[in-house]
Amino acid sequence: MNNLFKALSHPVRRRIIAMLRQGPMGSGEIAAAFDMSWPTITGHLNALKDSELVSTEKHGQSVRYRLEISAVEEAMAFLMDLTGTGSRTPEDDK
């Protein structure tokens, strides 16, 4: 939960997940879209993986990154709870 919002807190990582909305992409393909070194992007991808916002899948020598909607929904649930009037547990605050 904490890693989730931390992952979302960087503009580059948000842009990456926005890109992945259209479907899985390779690491290099993602890196090419940014004005930063490939290793830096790998670092951001690792952060996204730690947060479970993305998952990976090897396809030969390339690695495809896929957006994990379930994690996005988890973040949304937290925010929804803030706007709604429903009941909540202390669990939500972690």
Cα–Cα distance measured from residue 58 to residue 63, given in angstroms and rounded to the nearest whole number: 5
**57: contact with DNA by CB under 7 A:** no
Binding positions for DNA, 21-40, rule CB under 7 A: 26-29, 36-40
**8: contact with its own copies by CB under 8 A:** yes
Tokens encoding 15: 């842009």
Contact with its own copies (CB under 8 A) among 18, 28, 29, 59: 18
Contact with DNA (CB under 7 A) among 21, 22, 23, 60: 60
Q: Look at residue 23 and give the partner it binds from its own copies, DNA, none, a contact being a CB closer than 5 to 8 Å depending on partner kind.
A: none
